[in-house]
Structure 1
């Protein structure tokens, strides 16, 4: 099955890429989740629009990615979340909340879809967070989750 990605899917590609996947994977996962659209000649024309939108929000080049990496790695990111007895959170911390915490700490605006968490944040503590800024640049910073009063 030939599809056009509308969002970045790790292991497959970036928005605007035309790829070939197994029928079931495309039909049962990528299309219903909105990660892709079916390939047609008409949809092929939308690829330029998707790529233009991607370039507008993407980090411009390798130098800019390294600059953002430097900002992130020197940043102290703290997130307040409601917690119960023993430091267990009510729910878990989402990528959107992490991006907002980075912005509140004085960091750059980030794309939540590029965040990579090694494990789910469900308790108070410090967690390593990786973000893929560029195909060649990955930044790492620590997220400190504290209990809200």
Structure 2
């Protein structure tokens, strides 16, 4: 029996894949647990429409991420931290503070988890912080750290 998988099934296949299984396995395990459905013409057409819709949504998300990336690349934010002895930075600037500054200064809502910051910024000056907006789109944000 041919089955269209609705979810990933270990050792059988991924979601949306058409697999051939024994009739008993399909009737007693896959169909009752809603892991798959029979691969008839109606279900295959539904699957094709669903995949087309998902592809359209993914393309829209990619386009939105590219536009947001252009806005981020053109802009820069300024953060202030205290200076210690000898003009050295006292403290650091974390991803959370950068995300809050993006919201307040640029009016964009960026999650701090999207900032690729291996360690907090501990020096004064201008830093480029990568912002991963999509798996294919990474923008560079200019962050200027000055003394307060």
- TM-score grouping bracket, smaller chain normalisation: 0.5 to 0.7
Segments of 4+ moved more than 4 angstroms: none
Match of 1:128 in 2: 128
Matches within 5 A, 1:41-56: none
Over aligned residues, Cα RMSD in angstroms? 1.9
TM-score norm. by structure 2 comes to 0.55
User: 1:111-148 deviations in whole A, cap 9, x for unaligned?
Assistant: 10111125541121111100110011001021100011
Query: Which residue of 1 is the match for residue 140 of structure 2?
Result: 140
Q: Distance in 1 between matches of 2:138 and 2:84?
A: 34
Matched, 1:109 2:136: no
Q: Does 1:95 align with 2:95?
A: yes
* Aligned residue pair count: 90
Q: 1:87 Cα shift? A: 3.2
Q: 1:121 to 1:104 in 2, by over 3 A?
A: same
Q: 1:83 touches 1:89 (CA, 8 Å); kept in 2?
A: yes
Structure 1: segments with no counterpart, 5+ residues? 1-17, 19-59
1:83–1:124: 8 Å Cα contact kept in structure 2? no
Task: Flag the structure with larger Rg.
Answer: 2
Q: Which residue of 2 aligns with 1:15?
A: none
Change (3 A) 1:119 1:94: closer
